[in-house]
Amino acid sequence: MASHYEAPIRKPLVLGDKGYHDVSVDIAAPVEGKANKHWWIVFSISLAALLWGIGAIVYTISTGIGTWGLNKTVNWAWDITNFVWWVGIGHAGTLISAVLLLFRQKWRMAINRSAEAMTIFSVIQAGLFPIIHMGRPWLAYWVVPIPNQFGSLWVNFNSPLLWDVFAISTYLSVSLVFWWTGLLPDFGMIRDRAVKPFQKKIYSLVSFGWTGRAKDWQRFEEVSLVLAGLATPLVLSVHTIVSFDFATSVIPGWHTTIFPPYFVAGAIFSGFAMVQTLLIIMRKVCNLEAYITVQHIELMNIVIMITGSIVGCAYITELFIAWYSGVEYEQYAFLNRATGPYWWAYLLMMSCNVVSPQIMWFKKIRTSIMVSFIISIVVNVGMWFERFVIIVSSLHRDYLPSSWTMFSPTFVDIGIFIGTIGFFFVLFLLYARTFPVIAQAEVKSILKSSGERYKSLRAAGKPMYKIRKDGVVRETIMDSEGTLSNTDK
Amino acid sequence: MAETKIHAYYDDDDVLMHAVKKVKAAKHHIEEVYCPFPVHGLDRAMGLAPTRIAITSFMYGCLGLTIAIVMMNYIMIQDWPMNIGGKPSFSYIENMPAFVPIMFEMTVFFAAHLMVITFYLRSKLWPFKEAENPDVRTTDDHFVMEVEVHNNEDELKELLLETGAVELNIIKKRH
């Protein structure tokens, strides 16, 4: 609003001479337009990867987990690595929509919708692994404490794997309603613009009859704020619980109290990197450069840099504590990581996660779109290896040297991982064509404080609005059935 | 319901806010305002009561926490107090740390979902619900203020045009 004081140091978040209507047009354009050839090519590749993954999953379930590269010592590897990786990626979405909302960060407005979509889609990928890595996945419903004919026979609430069930299902379902509630005004906008009857019907259905009354908006904002307040501890707790899968064990290299915050920091780190990868492409192909600006990219890079430093700090803490503990098993676990047969994975993790984000200290680098894109991919490779190193290098050599072994994945392990990447992109590509990818209602609410048009008006000392006295008057007759008919215009 | 109502269209949130204040000052009852995005302070200017939805969320959270405690106490301590890995199952408090994650998650689950359901019901939002905004532009860039007319049409029309309405739509009911 005009009355709002905005420090002149703040750079505009919406570039160009954009008014409210321009925002609607720009955001509705990808939904109203047709998919181009490139979309179909990428979609086909993703679909092919998904189908390949489905094949690998069907093969695993029908033949057995023995088709994977696991052995009696290393009985968790790619499955849980991928699970933690996908859950971690999902976390940035909630961070952007919830934590940044609590901190009143206006720059989140342009990226929160896509970040939340990324959360939903990656938690779906993560959710596959706890099922398919079971030896008997058709009995998966036994993890739910439902009364039954075995006495009743219940579950054991001491296990972090059961906490995972509660955490992931709460996280997915709460993220979903948070996302959908935020979508209602935007679906309403597309519904009211739609000219094709089928499109109108679909968007009427998904917008739940959103009308935009003052009372609706008041409740909407309160609900968003409370959900943000609930989602923030939720996102911290979910990855904490995921980290408990390891931290509550007795395995040297796993049994650490630093895991909960360190996993959460890693999750934000990898999640923001994934948002960066997706948005750099999206702003280009959907012509949203005016909304997702270099400033947004820079701010995300700063978050990546900070969380990358937290992760680096955690690595050093682990190493220090291992040395300081005087426990030879613990010391060997870290010696093995650095110099054992998986030294290359440890080196990759260290260089991708600790070194690469540090170059973001240079402004020239963190404002470069090309470098940001490359670093964002490097970070996700590094974070995959972080989980792989933690899981496999701690398992393959622990207490008894007689059970020391190695791990190498089979094509089924790899195929399932590729399948989840394909599934993720299938969902994300469909989303980008059918959903308003930017929360237009929220962007409109910051347009006057952060839009370039209004910022220049304010800088020039010109009024932000004009009270017009030349309104037109028309009359409408409503008959007894409630149908309206215009008499004049 | 009054025979006649006026829909005053505005194309700017600041103009709308001024108009709302003026119309309120002139002692007219504003029936409804339709906005494309949340206009901060509008509810206060219109004199809407604060929403109590956060209070419901707190109560739902308490319910979730209670259900979690009762469930785990019954299952782990009362029904089958087994020794699983040496964990004490003699009383709830002894094994409480292991129950914290689920106590927390269920609190959040109930607080979030039941609040959202409450919001949908109170604001009448559900699939297949017909939208009731008077004009499609109210989800794009126009704001509509709905005021009822009680034998003061001309005076009200003048006031609304004075506040900067870009368009007035006088809706008359025919019997």
A146/B contact by beta carbon, under 8 A: no
The answer to whether residues A369 and A294 touch, using CB atoms and an 8 Å cutoff, is yes
Q: Which residue has the tokens 């179909």?
A: A40
Q: CB under 8 Å to A268, separation ≥6 — which residues?
A: A91, A92, A95, A303, A307
pLDDT on residue B153? 82
Cβ burial of A200 (10 Å; 0-12, 13-18, 19+) is middle
Give which of B12, B114, B115, B121 to mutate to test A binding, by max A Cβ within 10 Å.
B12
- Same domain membership, residue B118 and residue B158: no
pLDDT on residue A446? 87
pLDDT digits (tens, 9 = 90+) for A98-107: 999 999 898 9
pLDDT on residue A489? 43
Which chain B residues are within 8 Å of A472, Cβ to Cβ? Answer: 166-168
Kindly state whether residue B155 falls inside one of the protein's structural domains: yes
- Same domain membership, residue B62 and residue B101: yes
B10/A contact by beta carbon, under 8 A: no
CA–CA distance, A343 with A385 (Å, rounded to integer)? 11
**What predicted TM-score, i.e. pTM, was given to this entire model?**
0.93
Largest CA distance in chain B: 83
Residues B18, A178: C-beta atoms closer than 8 Å: no
Average pLDDT over chain B reads 91
Element (H, E) at A477: strand A472-478
For residue A128, pLDDT beyond 80:
yes
pLDDT digits (tens, 9 = 90+) for A397-407: 999 999 999 99
pLDDT digits (tens, 9 = 90+) for B14-62: 899 999 999 989 888 888 999 999 998 898 999 899 999 999 999 999 9
A1/B contact by beta carbon, under 8 A: yes
Q: Which amino acid is at A452?
A: E
Looking at chain A, the number of H-run helices and the number of E-run strands are: 18, 2
- Same domain membership, residue B95 and residue B58: yes
pLDDT digits (tens, 9 = 90+) for A258-268: 999 999 999 99
For residue B97, pLDDT beyond 70:
yes
φ and ψ at A241, to 5 degrees? -65, -40
Nearest to A158 among B40, B46, B84 (CB): B84
B89/A contact by beta carbon, under 8 A: no
The answer to whether residues A403 and A73 touch, using CB atoms and an 8 Å cutoff, is yes
pLDDT on residue B2? 56
- Same domain membership, residue B117 and residue B61: yes
B109/A contact by beta carbon, under 8 A: yes
CA–CA distance, B38 with A185 (Å, rounded to integer)? 10
- Same domain membership, residue B118 and residue B57: yes
**pLDDT band at A328; cut points 50, 70, 90:** very high
CA–CA distance, A271 with A89 (Å, rounded to integer)? 4
CA–CA distance, A40 with A433 (Å, rounded to integer)? 11
Which chain B residues are within 8 Å of A222, Cβ to Cβ? Answer: 51, 53-54
The answer to whether residues A3 and B18 touch, using CB atoms and an 8 Å cutoff, is no
The answer to whether residues A447 and A23 touch, using CB atoms and an 8 Å cutoff, is yes
Average pLDDT over chain A reads 91
B63/A contact by beta carbon, under 8 A: no
Which chain A residues are within 8 Å of B31, Cβ to Cβ? Answer: none
A297: three-class secondary structure by DSSP: helix
**pLDDT band at A1; cut points 50, 70, 90:** very low
**Could you tell me whether strands A472-478 and B167-173 are parallel, antiparallel, or unpaired per DSSP bridges?**
parallel
B35/A contact by beta carbon, under 8 A: yes
Higher pLDDT, A65 or A489: A65
Picking from B107, B35, B83, the residue whose alpha carbon sits closest to that of residue A230 is B107
Kindly state whether residue B161 falls inside one of the protein's structural domains: yes
Average pLDDT over residues B91-102: 95
The answer to whether residues A421 and A414 touch, using CB atoms and an 8 Å cutoff, is no
Residue B147 is encoded by which pair of tokens? 């005021």
The answer to whether residues A210 and A188 touch, using CB atoms and an 8 Å cutoff, is yes
- Same domain membership, residue B150 and residue B115: no
The answer to whether residues A398 and A251 touch, using CB atoms and an 8 Å cutoff, is yes
Which chain A residues are within 8 Å of B8, Cβ to Cβ? Answer: 471
B26/A contact by beta carbon, under 8 A: no
- Same domain membership, residue B62 and residue B32: no
Range of the domain at B158: 2-36+141-174
Q: Which amino acid is at B111?
A: A
Kindly state whether residue B118 falls inside one of the protein's structural domains: yes
**pLDDT band at B158; cut points 50, 70, 90:** confident
- Same domain membership, residue B66 and residue B114: yes
CA–CA distance, A281 with A437 (Å, rounded to integer)? 13
A155/B contact by beta carbon, under 8 A: yes
Residues B130, A209: C-beta atoms closer than 8 Å: yes
Kindly state whether residue B135 falls inside one of the protein's structural domains: no
Kindly state whether residue B168 falls inside one of the protein's structural domains: yes
CA–CA distance, B56 with B70 (Å, rounded to integer)? 21
Please report, for residues A135, A137, A147, A154, B63, the alpha-carbon distance to residue A150 in angstroms, rounded to integers and kept in the order given: 21, 19, 9, 9, 28
Picking from A109, A184, A115, the residue whose alpha carbon sits closest to that of residue A443 is A109
Considering only A47-56, A79-88, A98-107, A306-315, which range has the smallest mean pLDDT? A98-107
B153/A contact by beta carbon, under 8 A: no
The answer to whether residues A319 and A334 touch, using CB atoms and an 8 Å cutoff, is yes
CA–CA distance, A124 with A129 (Å, rounded to integer)? 9
CATH of the domain at B160: 3.30.70.260
Residues B32, A213: C-beta atoms closer than 8 Å: yes
Average pLDDT over residues A272-299: 92
A213/B contact by beta carbon, under 8 A: yes
Residues B139, A208: C-beta atoms closer than 8 Å: no
Which chain A residues are within 8 Å of B132, Cβ to Cβ? Answer: 209, 211
pLDDT on residue A483? 65
Count of structural domains within chain B: 2
Considering only A192-201, A370-379, A448-457, A476-485, which range has the smallest mean pLDDT? A476-485
Kindly state whether residue B128 falls inside one of the protein's structural domains: no
Residues 461-480 of chain A with CB under 8 A from chain B are: 464-469, 471-480
- Same domain membership, residue B101 and residue B68: yes
Kindly state whether residue B41 falls inside one of the protein's structural domains: no
The dihedral region occupied by A326, where left means phi > 0, alpha psi between -120 and 50, and beta the remainder, is left
- Looking at chain A, the whole-number percentage of residues with pLDDT higher than 70 is 97
Kindly state whether residue B164 falls inside one of the protein's structural domains: yes
- Same domain membership, residue B59 and residue B91: yes
The answer to whether residues A237 and B62 touch, using CB atoms and an 8 Å cutoff, is no
CA–CA distance, A94 with A114 (Å, rounded to integer)? 11
- Same domain membership, residue B17 and residue B78: no
Average pLDDT over residues A190-203: 91
Looking at chain B, the number of H-run helices and the number of E-run strands are: 5, 4
The dihedral region occupied by A54, where left means phi > 0, alpha psi between -120 and 50, and beta the remainder, is alpha
Q: Angle at Cα A412 formed by Cα A247 and Cα A78, nearest 5°?
A: 15
Helix ranges (H only) for A158-258 are: 160-193, 197-206, 214-247
Q: How many CB pairs under 8 A join A and B?
A: 266
Q: CB under 8 Å to A344, separation ≥6 — which residues?
A: none
Picking from A346, A238, A275, A282, the residue whose alpha carbon sits closest to that of residue A115 is A275
Residue A12 is encoded by which pair of tokens? 């505009």
**pLDDT band at A2; cut points 50, 70, 90:** very low
Q: Which residue has the tokens 């057995």?
A: A64
Q: Which amino acid is at A113?
A: R
pLDDT on residue B4? 85
Which chain B residues are within 8 Å of A485, Cβ to Cβ? Answer: none
